[in-house]
Amino acid sequence: MSEDLSKDFIRQIIDQDILEDSSCQVVTRFPPEPNGFLHLGHAKSICLNFGVAAEKNGITFLRFDDTNPTKENEIFVESIKKDVTWLGFDWGKKLTHASDYFEQFYLAAISLIEKNLAYVDESTPEEIKISRGTLTKPGIDSPFRSRSAQENLDIFKRMRNGEFSDGKMILRAKIDMASPNMNLRDPAIYRIRHYQHQRTADKWCIYPMYDFAHALSDAFEGITYSLCTLEFEDHRPLYNWFVKQVETQHCPRQIEFSRLNLAYSLTSKRKLNDLIEKGVVDGWDDPRLVTISGMKRRGYPASAILDFCKRIGVTKKDNIIEMGVLENCVRKNLGDTSERRMGVLKPLKVTLSNYDEGQVEYLDAQNHPNFPDLGIRKMPFCRELYIESSDFLEDAPRKFFRLKPGGEVRLRYAYIIRCDEVIKNSNGEVIELICSYDVDTKSGTGKSDKKVKGTIHWVSAQHSITSEVRLYDRLFKIPDPANVDDIEASINPHSLEIVEAELESSFAEENAPKVFQLERNGYFCLDNMSEKKSFNRVVTLRDSWAKIEKQALNS
């Protein structure tokens, strides 16, 4: 495949533009609205906008679209800056806000009114909605559409001066009420909002609409490529109309690409906020969410998210990406970088009847099987141990190669043990195993050629550290929760399980890893946001949902 064909269509367009005009500079922007935290879809846009500019020694603006003070907050502004930085991108001195241009927007609106291209409409929202028509029926002119430019100028200035209440009137562009494109049927440009703005306080009581402010912000900043998702494709004629009629010095080019749709996840800020307010999730940084802060807290490396965005690419076709693609990127990254440790999530006590009480020996354990340079650690071994409860079955099937009555198994880095007795409580539940160990089978000694088919992990009961471990899974039990009426009914009841686990003693050391693999259990990290020391499961070792998804497709 040639280099050109291996590039996405946006990069091919940019390359062609530069070929035709070598003086063409790539200037992009990432324009989030500060009304919530960024999510994985934003990460794709960040990678695209910052990436294409960096490849051509261009510039990227981080611009906050702060035109709706009723929903925006400085907390969201700071979280967005942190997320962009965490992903590894730098906007330098190109940090801007739509509010930086409020005066210029106002003057641009004045110029449209003077050209008889905008008018003040006092119709009710319902009247405006009806008059706009449908996809098959043209709109009807507003009774206020024929107002003189002078009258519109006077009323619009009074709007700015705060003489009218919210919703009393709006400023509309005068384009074409019969246009087949609904966006061109005299869209709103300004609305009245008597609301404290986080940056401009009470200086303004009228605020520009997104389509107007966004197009002009791009033009004012000299953006060459306004890269946005496909839902804005029908807005492009309006975008170009605003830029042309305001007669800006610069004419940006809008190019649309497919948004990121990830299975078993939700990215709508409105719906996420609803889940937060109802207490379904803990907040914007809940590790079950695919917000950037949530993924960071869960333990997803920034490099894994970047790798994911690179893998899915940039296309014009909407599709749903399987969650397993993202999780595999995380596994690949952590598999090469995370030290191994042992821990038991659901402990079952094992007592070695023939091991001396009080005796402790320290066994060598590799920190990573593929990277000897990461060294070894010493694991204490004694009479009483913990193993995973799932590693024992009383009525085991023939091909169960872990521990069972009378059966033998190897303890990793240690000895072969045999289960001699099963102790149960009054409810018939197994609470302890009495086992014996074979002294000649210590790992690495070569004293015995005895073989067993199963190897399990363990920790010393005397030295283990009891820790809270949060086992996170997918938040939703259906692939497309965004398209259901009752989102709460689609919540996976097993998306979070909190257990008291027993971890090996090395976790008490000052240099204990913050991110690690618990052998046979998955990848985990220290939760820096938790009030007490706890660990999050980042991702399992295997995609346990792959079988479920396959069954669903075949059903």
Cα dihedral: 239, 241, 244, 248 (round 10):
-40
Distance, in Å, from the CA atom of 431 to the CA atom of 311, rounded to the nearest integer, reads: 47
d(CA 299, CA 516): 10
For the question of residue 259 being annotated catalytic, the response is yes
Kindly list the distances between the CA atom of residue 407 and the CA atoms of 167, 321, 348, 460, in Å, as whole numbers in the listed order.
77, 44, 16, 21
Q: How many of the other CB atoms lie within 10 Å of CB of 160?
A: 16
- What are the b/e assignments for 370-381, b being 16+ CB within 10 Å? eeeebeebebbb
Half-sphere exposure of 23 (CA within 13 A, CB side): 0
CA dist., res. 368 & res. 338, Å (int): 8
Of 229, 169, 217, nearest to 193 by C-alpha is: 169
Residues with Cβ < 8 Å from 32, sequence gap 6 or more? 38, 42, 64, 65, 80
To which residue do tokens 């669903």 refer? 552
In the set 7, 29, 33, 388, the catalytic residue is 33
3-state secondary structure of 406: coil
Where residue 283 falls (left for φ over 0; alpha for ψ -120 to 50; beta otherwise) is left
Interatomic CA distance for residues 537 and 266, integer angstroms: 20
In whole angstroms, give the CA distance from residue 260 to residue 45: 9
Closest among 216, 217, 161, 214 to 192, alpha carbons compared: 161
Place of tokens 């975008």: 239
Give the active site residue among 11, 94, 193, 259: 259
What lies within 8 Å, CB to CB, of 360 at 6+ separation is: 380, 381, 382, 460, 462, 463
Which of 269, 331, 341, 402 is catalytic? The answer is 269
The burial of 200, by beta-carbon neighbours within 10 Å (0-12 exposed, 13-18 middle, 19 or more buried), is given as middle
Report CA 508 to chain centroid distance, whole Å: 31
Nearest CA to 46 out of 314, 331, 334 is that of: 314
Q: Distance between CA atoms of 40 and 267, rounded to whole angstroms?
A: 8
Instruction: State phi, psi for 534 to the nearest 5 degrees.
Output: -145, 165
Question: Residue 277: which H helix or E strand, with range?
Answer: helix 269-277
One-letter amino acid identity for 228? C
Question: In the β-sheet with 416-424, what is the strand arrangement from edge to edge?
Answer: 455-456, 408-411, 416-424, 430-437, 347-352, 384-388, 458-460
Residue by residue, DSSP assigns 283-302 as STT-TTS-BHHHHHHHT--H
Active site residues: 33, 259, 269
